[in-house]
Amino acid sequence: MSAQPALQTTPSAHHPRRPRIALMGEFSAGKSTLANLLLGQSVSPVKVTATQLPPVWYTLGDPAVLRIDNSGAELPIAANDLDAVSHKETQAVRIQLQAEVLEFCDVIDMPGTSDPNMPQDIWERMLARVDGVIWCTPATQAWRQSEAALWEGLPAALHDNSLLLITRMDKLQTEKDRDRVVARVRHETHGLFSKALPISLLEALADPENPDTLQRCGADLFVESLVELVENLGTPSHDRGPVSFAPIKQGTAPVSAAQTAPAPAPAAACSDGVVPRRVVPKRVRRPQQPGPQASA
């Protein structure tokens, strides 16, 4: 593989960069549905070939979609062309938009980790620059051995700054089944995440203005936990300059996230001296445009 030039995202001196939260998990675990829920609009494609799309980085700004190619050039593309983007020619897609959650953190929708045709370094380069992770695991196949093996091999510094989200809880038939799955997953992941939380993403998307629905499906508890996570991260003190990927030479192994991930940053106030109290609305807003249906 040829060398990969740097992807530039330089923060303002007056606005230190926001914490970066990566959405991770195996293919079709609900990551893109979760991104749409957080952003309050259908911008993340939920039906894309597993081997195709590179990391999608959502950041606050005037609406724009940029493809960062292998030369490091940022090329504007139309939003409806996302399904034609391939990781073979693209390091990442950067989507700028206005969303409340992006005022306090960037959201990075990572490729699924379970596809053998998706090179690991595609998401590993990005993982070395994130501050926390939300790992999605579907309740019907919760916390597979492949997930456990991959997560336990990642930097231990991520464990305290990450949430495990058990998605597709609506697919389990009885309350007893749901309680059993949650108890097992929490036991098996003890010490690997700050919290393990059940959620039905499709239920939250279907009725985002109803507080009873949001409480019942687990969205409210997830929002509170995400707020707590971002508050604990504060304003990251590391990596204030441009984001860069280490060059990858043909025939050499990529630098692993474990080797390059920064140490966890202490909690700190934002540029105005106040730690944000909320990162997403308590009432998750209905997407502005209906997106494709997908299991979550």
For residue range 54-67, list pLDDT tens digits in order: 899 999 999 999 99
Higher-pLDDT residue of 5 and 80 is: 80
Question: 3-class DSSP state for residue 280?
Answer: coil
pLDDT band at 179, cuts 50/70/90? very high
pLDDT in tens, 180-202: 999 999 999 999 999 999 999 99
Model confidence at 282: pLDDT above 70: no
* In-domain check, residue 137: yes
Of 163, 208, 162, which Cα lies nearest the Cα of 42? 208
Strands 90-97 and 64-69: antiparallel
Domain range holding 135?
20-47+109-236
Model confidence at 148: pLDDT above 50: yes
CB 196 within 8 A of CB 143: no
The pLDDT value given to residue 244: 45
Higher-pLDDT residue of 23 and 16 is: 23
pLDDT in tens, 233-277: 876 655 444 454 444 343 334 434 444 444 444 333 333 333 333
What phi and psi values does residue 161 have, to the nearest 5 degrees? Answer: -110, 30
133/165 Cα distance (integer angstroms): 10
* In-domain check, residue 184: yes
Question: 3-class DSSP state for residue 243?
Answer: coil
108 beta partners? 22, 57
CB 127 within 8 A of CB 161: no
Question: 3-class DSSP state for residue 277?
Answer: coil
Model confidence at 292: pLDDT above 60: no
Count of CB atoms situated within 10 Å of the CB of 160? 14
* In-domain check, residue 194: yes
**What average pLDDT does range 131-155 have in this prediction?**
95
The pLDDT value given to residue 235: 67
User: Which of 13-22, 44-53, 59-68, 252-261 shows the highest mean pLDDT?
Assistant: 59-68
* In-domain check, residue 5: no
The rounded mean pLDDT for the chain is 77
Model confidence at 217: pLDDT above 90: yes
* In-domain check, residue 80: no
3-state secondary structure 214-228: HHHHCHHHHHHHHHH
CB 103 within 8 A of CB 283: no
State CA 287 to chain mean position distance. 18
The pLDDT value given to residue 16: 67
The CATH number assigned to the domain holding 36 equals 3.40.50.300
User: Which of 12-16, 69-73, 145-149, 205-209 shows the highest mean pLDDT?
Assistant: 145-149
- Confidence (pTM): 0.77
* In-domain check, residue 162: yes
How many structural domains does the chain have? 1
* In-domain check, residue 192: yes
The pLDDT value given to residue 210: 93
- Tokens read off for 40: 């309050």
* In-domain check, residue 171: yes
